[in-house]
Structure 1
């Protein structure tokens, strides 16, 4: 059956319109959601891109790097290099990186997630970011470096004011982030908590077959 020329033109236009809707509506919406998800993260790079990081608190400075030694990799992918040389606890490292890279928005709460404030440099002290004692320095595998500086808690006491020093030039107005304070729990760990726990020695199982000791007082009948 042959289609009329007008029918073919209409079919072509319909297919073109469907493609237009997909590109600009469906695909555009997906890309917008991806952008919004990245905006709800402190950092948008991936965990596998991180080469090392340094956690600075009033109590201590801890530097953790990726392990390259094959034998050490069998135990942990991370090692502490400052203030001591020791394999790192993967659970402690993963907890910190999760807080740095997770999406902080809650679907049920439209007001949740990371907020951004634009302030002038002379107002930075109001957020506790003029003299910072808690910070994280991150080095990626491509040698790009980032720094997260933590300031005061907000008026509700559940979030932190923070600032990112990225490779881009700092503008006249400074962007202050309002992030979850859960990152403090991931940072404020003792050195022992950062270390890989020692392996528990295996206790050999006792033989289930035991030799029965004859009773010397027993007399045969």
Structure 2
């Protein structure tokens, strides 16, 4: 059965409109949603670009550097402070992956003189990241919000001197990721080696 030219024309117009709606409405909305998700990211770096990390808590400051193995081009994470030790690769990489994907769904602007009420005047925890290109990030972690599901944070911008600062709300579990004793950052192999050496010393 042959379709009338007018009917065929209507079908083609309908198909064209459907395609237009898909590419300009649905695809456009998906693209906007992706952009909004990217804008929520706290940091703008790739894990492989990180050269050094520093974590400051109430108890201590830990510093990590990505270093080359002797006689090799392979890179490993090394604890440099409070003492030189091999770091646990999986634990450090897990931290970096969480930082690279860390999002803040909400933020507020306040005067720099109000930082104390958010626990950010003398923050309990600070995370610093240095990239290979020399760029630095410094994230201050303050108190929990009223819901106790988020903590207040401030991402310091180098050489930025303004009366107002942006306060971010980030998931509480991020603080749990960084607030670990040094033993949890050390290479498990190194811990086992040290334990074996202690046993040998005691037996002599």
TM bucket normalised to smaller: 0.7 to 0.9
* Superposition map of 1:109-188 within 5 A: 114-167=105-158, 169-188=160-179
Gaps of 5+ in 2: 1-16, 194-204
| CA distance in 2 between partners of 1:162 and 1:115 (Å) | 11
| CA distance in 2 between partners of 1:131 and 1:194 (Å) | 25
Give a deviation string over 1:39-84, Cα, whole Å, max 9, x none.
332213111121111000011111111122256776x731111111
Rg larger in 1 or in 2? Answer: 1
Give the match for residue 61 of structure 2. 61
- Aligned partners of 2:69 and 2:76 also within 8 Å: no
Between Structure 1 and Structure 2, how many residues are aligned? 189
Give a deviation string over 1:21-45, Cα, whole Å, max 9, x none.
7886566444422322223322131
Q: 1:49 to 1:142 in 2, by over 3 A?
A: same
Q: 1:40 to 1:71 in 2, by over 3 A?
A: farther
Matched, 1:81 2:72: no
| CA distance in 2 between partners of 1:92 and 1:68 (Å) | 18
- 1:48 aligned counterpart, secondary structure: helix
TM-score, with length taken from structure 1: 0.69
Higher helix share: 2
Q: 1:73 to 1:190 in 2, by over 3 A?
A: farther
Give the match for residue 100 of structure 2. 101
Q: 1:20 to 1:120 in 2, by over 3 A?
A: farther
Give a deviation string over 1:147-199, Cα, whole Å, max 9, x none.
00011111122210000012363443210001111122211211121111117
- 1:44 aligned counterpart, secondary structure: coil
Give the match for residue 187 of structure 2. 196
| CA distance in 1 between partners of 2:53 and 2:64 (Å) | 6
* Superposition map of 1:11-90 within 5 A: 25=25, 28-69=28-69, 77-90=76-89
| Structure 1 residue 20, shift from structure 2 partner | 8.2
